[in-house]
């Protein structure tokens, strides 16, 4: 499975591609950050994020895109920018028919470190170890994007089984009466 992880942001949008399957060693295929100038017009910044993600999709041809689920922060302006960058990533994937998975920060931390409350340094250290890198990816947004991809690779089999079970249950459930 090849997954593009996206840690959305307007100034720095982390991107990382990981390939592998759960239970086997994983391989990093690429990592980086799509940057936009803070003083640029919002529409131009979103366009730059879109172009950057499209380049990553063209180059790496992922089977899935894993995006960090936007959560409430104290700074509404930061949340809005993160949500907008997240939407751009989802749009790019949907345009190509690539399935998108959203993972919360705590899900990603728990998958990679074993604790949903892990610090950024712990996530970076585990990403470095899991992908057999010589140093943690910098900036942290890049390491977070790789962690998202790893999380998806490890969680996807269980999520797929759950979805299949729900679909089977729904298909075989007795139909309600209609009036």
pLDDT in tens, 82-120: 999 999 999 999 999 999 999 999 999 999 999 999 999
**Annotation marks residue 41 as catalytic:** no
Mean pLDDT of 40-50: 97
- pTM given for the model: 0.88
Structural contact between residues 50 and 92, judged by C-beta atoms closer than 8 angstroms: yes
Mean pLDDT of 3-13: 97
What is the pLDDT at residue 106?
94
End-to-end CA distance of the chain: 47
Q: Choosing from 19, 58, 63, 68, which is the catalytic residue? A: 68
* SS3 letters across 73-123: CCCHHHHHHHHHHHHHHHHHHHHCCCCEEEECHHHHHHHHHCCCCCCHHHH
Is residue 35's pLDDT more than 80?
Answer: yes
**Annotation marks residue 58 as catalytic:** no
Q: Choosing from 50, 119, 141, 144, which is the catalytic residue? A: 141
Domain boundaries defined on the chain: 2-172
What is the pLDDT at residue 146?
98
Token pair listed for 44: 């131009």
Is residue 164's pLDDT more than 70?
Answer: no
What is the pLDDT at residue 71?
76
- Classify residue 163 by burial, with Cβ atoms within 10 Å: 0-12, 13-18, 19+: exposed
d(CA 72, CA 77): 11
H or E element, residue 50: helix 42-60
Number of other residues whose CB lies within 10 A of the CB of residue 169: 9
Mean pLDDT of 47-73: 94
d(CA 59, CA 20): 17
CATH of domain 2-172: 3.30.420.10
Lowest-confidence segment of 73-77, 127-131, 173-177 by average pLDDT: 173-177
**Annotation marks residue 54 as catalytic:** no
Whole-number mean pLDDT of the chain? 91
Question: By percentage, how much of the chain surpasses pLDDT 70?
Answer: 90
Q: Choosing from 7, 19, 58, 59, which is the catalytic residue? A: 7
What is the pLDDT at residue 165?
65
Mean pLDDT of 144-168: 80
H or E element, residue 16: strand 12-19
């Amino acid at each position: 499975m090849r997954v593009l992880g996206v840690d959305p942001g307007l100034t720095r949008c982390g991107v990382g591609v990981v390939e592998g399957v759960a239970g086997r060693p994983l391989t990093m295929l690429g990592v980086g950050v799509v940057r936009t100038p803070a003083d640029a017009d919002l529409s131009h910044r979103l366009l730059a994020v879109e172009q950057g993600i499209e380049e990553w999709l063209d180059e790496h041809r992922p089977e899935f895109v894993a995006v960090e689920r936007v959560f409430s922060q104290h700074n509404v302006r930061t949340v809005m920018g993160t949500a907008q960058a997240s939407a751009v990533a989802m749009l790019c994937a949907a345009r190509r028919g690539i399935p998108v998975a959203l993972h919360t920060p705590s899900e990603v931390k728990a998958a990679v470190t074993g604790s949903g409350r892990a610090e950024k340094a712990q996530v970076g250290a585990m990403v470095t170890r899991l992908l057999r890198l010589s140093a943690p990816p910098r900036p942290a947004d890049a390491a977070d994007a790789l962690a998202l991809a790893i999380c998806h690779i490890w969680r996807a089999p269980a999520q797929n089984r759950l979805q299949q079970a729900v679909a089977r249950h729904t298909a075989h459930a007795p139909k309600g009466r209609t009036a």
